[in-house]
Chain A
C-alpha cells in the first residue's frame, strides 16, 4: 500500500512537472521590463522620451565629458594645476591620444543616447495615440538626436550616422564613418522636423522639455557652424522675436541652483539633488581640491575647470560677471589662504558627494543674442548686431559699444561670449567656428609659457578634433579609421 502510494506519487509528480516544463523554464524579469513588452502604449512612449532626455545626464554626455572636451582645450582653463592626472591634462596641453579615458565615453554615451532616440522615432508610428502629442514626442526626440550628433561631430569629425535602431550586433560592423557634411545634413533635417512639431512653451512639470525656441537656437548655432549665416539669422531672429526668453536683471540669479529653467534658459540639462541619482557633480568637481569650507562642506572636490589667469584678466573693469564666475583665492580648511583661479558658477550644497542641483545650460538667451549678433555681423548687418551685443553688456554693468567695424565686431563678440559664457562649454567650439582656435591658443601658450616636455605647447590643425576612441577602432578595425595625426 505504502509502496504503491510512493511510486504512484513519484510517477504523478514527474508527469506533472514534465507537462508544465515549458512554462517552468520561461522566466521573465520581475524587477525590470523586457523590451518585447515595451513601446506599446502612449505612456511607454512618454517614458522612452524621458529616458532619451536622461541620456543627456550620462557621464559621456553633459555630466562629465562635455566640459572636458568643450572647455579644457581653450584658454579659459589653466593648465598645470591638474597636470598630475594625465587624462584631462591631455586636453589642456594638446597631447590627447585615443586611449584617453574621457574620450571613449563621449563616443559611446553619445550613441547610447542616439539609440534611445532611434528606438522612439522608429516605434512611434506603431503606437495609436493623439497625433499632436505623438508628433511632439518625436519632435523632442529629433532635437535630442540632433544635439547628440552635433556634439559628436564637433568633437570627432566624421562619425557613423545611425538613424534607425540596429537589430543585431553584426549589423554594427557594416558602418564606417559618415562625412561631417552628411551628418550636418541629418542634424538640419531633424531640427527642421522638430521645429514644426514642438510647442513654443510648456507649463508646469513639462517646462524644460524641448521648445521651438530651443530647436531654433540649436539650428541657428548649427547654421553658424556651417557658415550658413542667412539661415542662422532666420532661426535666431525667430527666437528673439518669440518674446519667450529674457535676460534676468541680475547675472548671479541665472546660476542660482534653485532657479532652474528660469526665463533666460532656452535649453538645459536638468539635475536635482537629494540622493535620487539625479544630482550633478559640478559643484564638487569644479572646486579646488581640499574644498572651500565656506562654499561646499560635503563630499570631495575635484580641482577641475580651474579658470585661467588670462580669463580673469579678460574681464573689463566694472564687469559684474567676474565675481560671479571666477575667484582667485580662498581660505582652506586649515585657515590657510590658497591662491588659485577657480570657477564659482556652479555652487550648491549637495547632501552627499557629487549630488548637486546645478543644471548644465546648453543654450541660454544671452548665448542666442550673441549668436544672433554674430549672424547679423556676418550678413553685413553690423549696426544691428550692436543692439544685441549691448543688451548683454548692459546687464553686465558695462558701457554699450558703438561704431564697430565688422572685423572689430567679430572680436568684440568673441570677447563678450568668452566672459558671458565661460565654463559653459562654448569657447573652444566658438574659436573653431570662427577659425581663430589655432591663433588664439598658440598666442596664449606663448604668453604664459605653457610647456610640454620642455617646449611651448602649440596646437596643430589636426588637433581641432579628438582622436576616435581606441576601443572603437579595436571593436571594428576594418571600418573604423583614426583621425589623421593621431
Chain B
C-alpha cells in the first residue's frame, strides 16, 4: 500500500507545485459553507454517517459534504489504502475524527469550519495549552515555491514541543519564549526549514520541495520498506530517471546510475541484453547476471527482458548486499534487480501518450587502409616472406611469384571501398506508447500498449516489439484484494550474424568482415552479382553485404507474463497473500541462406528452423504481520513458501540440398535433420524475514531462505541462506537531534549468505549421449551408438556468496546533500568450475565446486540539490572501486585458461583478477640481427620482429616466459547525472567514466596474421618496421605474409588501455505550462530532444571500450573480437497527458 505513494510521486509533485492547494479546496469543499462557526462548535456537531468499503479520503468527502465542514490536507498525509466501513449515529464530529484518524497517526487542527489534517509525527502539540513564563507573539505566512500558501505546516519552537500549524491561508500565530528561539517549519514532501523568531513579523517563509524524502518507500524482496528503515544496501532508480531515455533495455536504464552496479553495453545490437554486474564478478563459470524479478516474479532468463516496455516501469531497485538479496537464496548471489511496473491510482482516468523517434548511427569508424595503401602493405608483406624463404633479391618486385591476382597490379580496377560504410547505415527507430490508468469503486487499473520499431546500424537488421500490459487490482471488501498483472508481448527481430569470428562456415561475423574485407573490391560485380574477394584463404570467400542482405534470419518471440494474487487481511496487521503466475516464452527462428551468397566453391542454399518454448510457473504463499508494541517497538514478520517449475523444449530442423532459392522454408530442403531437447528444473523454497525497529533508531533485519533445487546433486539438494543486518540512526539520538545541519545519519552493517545456481539442469548427473557409427559395405549403414558425455558429481551444489557490508547514509543541510558510502567484501566460494582435468578420465573438464573469488570495494553516492530556486540544479554522482581477486582454482591451484576466439589469452589464476590477460611481454622490436643474437628469441625471429621479454631470465624464450599482461578490471567506475531546470525547460546530462581497465584487442591480433593481401589492415600498420634506419613506430613488427618470430602470438602489444569518459545521455525537455494546456484540454505535455553516446574520450583504438565479445562469460572480460559497435542516437519525443 505504501507503494501507492512511491509510484504516484511524479503526479503528486506536479499537483503540489502547480495548483495543489486550490485543487484540494475545490475537491473537498463540495458545498458552500453557510456561516462561520467556532472550532468547538464544529467539533461537537452531531454526525450520522454510514459507509461501506470506502477509502478514508472518500469518507472524509462524505463528512464534508453532509456536515458543512471542509477538510484540507496534503495528499501524503493519508497513506493508507485501507477500505473502511463506518456506521455513526449522532456522534460528535470529534469522536468520529478520533476514531477515523488516530489509527492512522493523523492529527487535526480546526480553523473555524475548516479542518486541517496533519501527520501526527510532525507536530506533537498545539500551542494553546502551553504555559509560558514570558511570551512574544510571532506571526507569519508559509508559502510554497510558487508562492501558494501551504496549509497545515507544523511550526514548532526548536527544542520544545510547543507549536502550531498554518491555517487555510497559510498563516500562523504563536507565542515564543524569547527572541532567540528558533522556529522549525515541517511539512511532508518539503524540506524542513528553521528561522529565528526575532525576524521581521509577519515572517514570510518559503518551503522547498524535498525530492528525496526519507519516507520514500523502496521495493525490497517480498515487500516494501521505507528508506530510513532499510539496513541493507539497496540502489534505486525511479521512473523519472527512466522515462524519456530512448533506451530499449532495462540495462541501459541502469547504466551509470547506481554505485556498484556496472552496466556494460558490450554490443550495439538492437534488443540485445547488456552485461550487468553487481559488485564485480564473483562467479567464474556459472554466470554473473543478477536475478531479475518483475513485480515479484523471478525471471528464468534475463535475455528476454527486452520484451518488457521501459515505459511501463515505475521503479528499479537493485539489492546489492547479502542482507537485501538473501531473501532470494540460491539465486541472489549476483545481486537482485527488482523491476516494478506502474499501477493505477484512485481518481480520474488519466491518459498518457509517449512518442519518441530518432536515428542511430555508428559511433566510431575504424581507420583501415584504403586501396592503394592496402596493395602497398600487401606487397611489403609478401616481399618479406619472399626474401625470408630465400627468394632472389635481384628479381624485380613485379616479376616475383607472389601468387597475387592481376587486380593487385592494376590500380584502374581498384574500387577503393569502405566496407564499414557498405554494411552500416543511419538507422531510424520509433517508439509509441499509450497508457490509461485510474481507479474507482475499489478497482484500480493501469493498461498500456506500446510499439517499438528499431533498425540496426548494420543494414537489414532490426527489432520490432509490440507490448501490452494490464495491471488490475480490485478491493472486494476492506480485507480482501485481488490483483492481476498481465503483460503479453511479441517481438520480431531480423538478425544477422553480426558478431564474432569471420573465419569459419558457421560464423561469418559481419562486423569483423566489414572491417577486414579487401578495399580494392566493391560489393557488386558489373553483372550485379556479388563479388568474391580475390586471392585465397578461408576468410576471403565472403561478401559482407551479401551476408547481411541475402540471408534471412527472423526470430519471433511471443511472451506472456502473468500473475494473479489474492491479499487477505483477516486481522489488523496481518496480510496473507497467495500468488500464482506463469511466464511463457515461445520463439521461432527461421534462417535461410540462398545461393546468391558467395562462399568457397559453389554456393549452396541451406536453412534451419528452430523453435523454443519455455514455460515457467510460480506459486508463492506469504504471510506478513506488522505491529507496533508499546509505541516504540515496530515489528514486521514475513514467512513464505514458494514453488517454481520450469519446462524448456527446443526443436531444430536443419535443411540442406535446396533445389533453388524460391521456397526458403525447410520443407523445400532435400535433406532435413531434426533435433529436440527437453529439460526441466524445479525449485522449492521457504523463506522468512524479521524487521524490527526501536524508536526508529535501532533497526534490525534478518532473512532466511531454504532452497531445494533439482539441479543439484543427490547429496546436496537443499541449501539454507541466512542473513542479518543492523542499523543505527544516530540522527535520532538526543546528542544529534539538535544539530541543525544534520537531517539524517545512519550507519548499518550486514552479513549473510546467498547462492548462485546457474548451472546446467542435469549437471550433477553423468549423461549418456548419442554417438553413432557406420557399418556395412558400400556407402554404409547408420548404426546407433551411445557414449558417456559428462561426468557425474552427486555433490554438485550452488555457489556460495558470503558478503559483509558496512554502510553510512547521511543527509545534511535541509536534505540538500545526501551521501551514502558502503564498504563491502564479497567472498564467492564453492564456485562451479568446469575444471580442466587430466583427460585420462575421458573428459577434458568436469564441473566441480572448488573455486573462490573475492570482490571487495567501496561505493560512494552523493545526491545534491545545488540550487533550488527558480533555477534548479541537482547532481547525482556515484563512484565505485571494486577489486576482484581469485583466491582458489582447485586442488592443484591450476590456472584456468580461456579464450573462445583466440586460444588461451585469458587466465584465471590465484592472486589476480578473473580472466586476466596472459601472454608474452613485448618490449620492442629487434632492429638488427646483432640485437636478435644478443637477446633470447624464438627460433624464427629476425630483425624487424617483436622482442619478447625473457621473463624468467633463463636465456631461453619459451612458454615459461608468458606472464600477466593486464586485466579488464577498472580502478574505478563512476557515473554522474546532472539535472537542471529553469522555468519550463529541463536538461539532464548523464556521464560515465571508467579508469584503468585494459582491453585485449584479439581482433587486431587476428587481422595482423593476414597481411598477405587477403584481408585489410588497420591504418596503423603503415608504421611498421621496415629497416634499421626506418624502424617505424616501435610497436608494429615488419610486415610479413608468413609471420615469423611469433609476432602475432598474443602479447602485451595487443593489450590497450580501455579507460574512457563517455557523454552517455543528454536530454533537453520543455514542459508546457498548465495554463496553455487547459485551452487544449491537456493536463501535461512535454517535448524533448535527446542524444545518446554523443562523445567518448578514450585512447582505445577499437570500436568500443566497453567491450566484451564473450558476453557474460566472466573469464574472458575485455576481449575485443568484432562486437557490434554501439550507436550514437538522436531522439525527439513528446509525452502528453490528458
Contact = CB atoms under 8 A, between A and B. Distances in A.
A351 B708 CA distance: 49
Contacts of A128: none
Interface stretch (A412-420, A431-439, A449-457): A449-457
A145 B399 CA distance: 55
B604 A298 contact: yes
B787 A166 contact: no
Contact of A21 (B657, B708, B843, B894): B708
A51 B606 contact: no
A351 B939 contact: no
A476 B785 contact: no
Contacts of A260: 774, 776-780
B841 A108 contact: no
A35 B841 contact: no
B1024 interface: no
A470 interface: yes
Interface string B321-346: 00000000000000000000000000
Residue of B566, B779, B848 contacting most chain A CB atoms (<10 Å): B779
B777 A261 contact: yes
A353 B761 CA distance: 33
A317 interface: no
Contacts of B839: 107-108, 111-112, 471-472, 475
Given A270-B773, A291-B601, A297-B602, A454 B942 contact: yes
A475 B892 contact: yes
A27 B840 contact: no
A116 B894 contact: no
Nearest to B671: A275
Contacts of A84: 537, 1009-1010, 1012, 1041-1043
B678 A31 contact: yes
Given A27-B682, A84-B1042, A35 B541 contact: no
Contacts of B709: 25
Given A116-B787, A449-B390, A476-B838, A31 B679 contact: yes
A97 B568 contact: no
B576 interface: yes
A449 to B, nearest CB: 7
A461 interface: no
Contacts of A7: 568, 576
A475 B840 CA distance: 11
A107 B784 CA distance: 25
A270 B838 contact: no
Interface in A21-70: 21, 24-36, 38, 44, 47-57
A129 interface: no
B878 to A, nearest CB: 40
Interface string B828-846: 0000000111111111101
Contacts of B892: 173, 475-478
Contact of A47 (B786, B844, B891): B786
A192 B1043 CA distance: 50
A453 B1045 CA distance: 8
B911 interface: no
B772 A35 contact: no
Given A33-B767, A297-B602, A208 B775 contact: yes
B35 interface: no
B647 to A, nearest CB: 10
Given A115-B788, A475-B894, A480 B678 contact: no
A378 to B, nearest CB: 35
A207 interface: yes
Interface string A105-119: 001100110111011
Interface string A445-486: 000010111100000000000000011101111111000000
Nearest to B761: A27
B838 A54 contact: no
B895 interface: yes
Q: How large is the interface on A (under 10, 10 to 19, 20 to 34, 35 or more residues)?
A: 35 or more
Interface string B365-383: 0000000000000000000
Interface in A332-379: 333, 351-353, 357, 359
Contacts of B680: 27, 30
Interface residues of B, number: 103
Interface string B659-697: 000000000001111001111111010000000000000
Given A32-B769, A205-B776, A51 B787 contact: yes
Interface string B602-621: 10101000000000000001
A86 B1044 CA distance: 10
B684 A21 contact: yes
Interface string B524-562: 000000000000111001000000000000000000000
Nearest to B937: A453
B894 A169 contact: no
Nearest to B505: A353
B604 A272 contact: no
B838 A299 contact: no
Contacts of B599: 300
Contacts of B507: none
A83 B1042 contact: yes
Given A17-B643, A172-B837, A352-B604, A34 B767 contact: yes
A126 to B, nearest CB: 16
A54 B782 CA distance: 11
A212 to B, nearest CB: 17
Interface in A219-259: 257-259
Contact of B774 (A29, A278, A293, A298): A278
Interface string B758-795: 00011001111101111111111111111111011000
Given A116-B788, A206-B776, A272-B782, 9 more contacts: A25-B682, A35-B792, A260-B779, A271-B780, A275-B673, A301-B601, A454-B942, A476-B838, A479-B838
Interface of A: 2-3, 6-7, 10, 14, 17-18, 21, 24-36, 38, 44, 47-57, 80, 83-84, 86, 95, 97-99, 101, 107-108, 111-112, 114-116, 118-119, 160, 162, 165-166, 169-173, 175, 204-209, 257-262, 270-278, 289-291, 293, 296-301, 303, 333, 351-353, 357, 359, 449, 451-454, 470-472, 474-480
12 contacts: A25-B682, A33-B768, A52-B787, A95-B940, A97-B958, A99-B904, A107-B839, A116-B842, A173-B892, A207-B777, A208-B780, A209-B775
Interface of B: 388-390, 480, 505, 536-538, 541, 566, 568, 570, 576, 578, 599-602, 604, 606, 621, 641, 643, 645, 654, 656-657, 670-673, 676-682, 684, 708-710, 717, 761-762, 765-769, 771-789, 791-792, 835-844, 846, 848, 891-892, 894-895, 897, 903-904, 939-942, 958-959, 1009-1010, 1012, 1041-1044
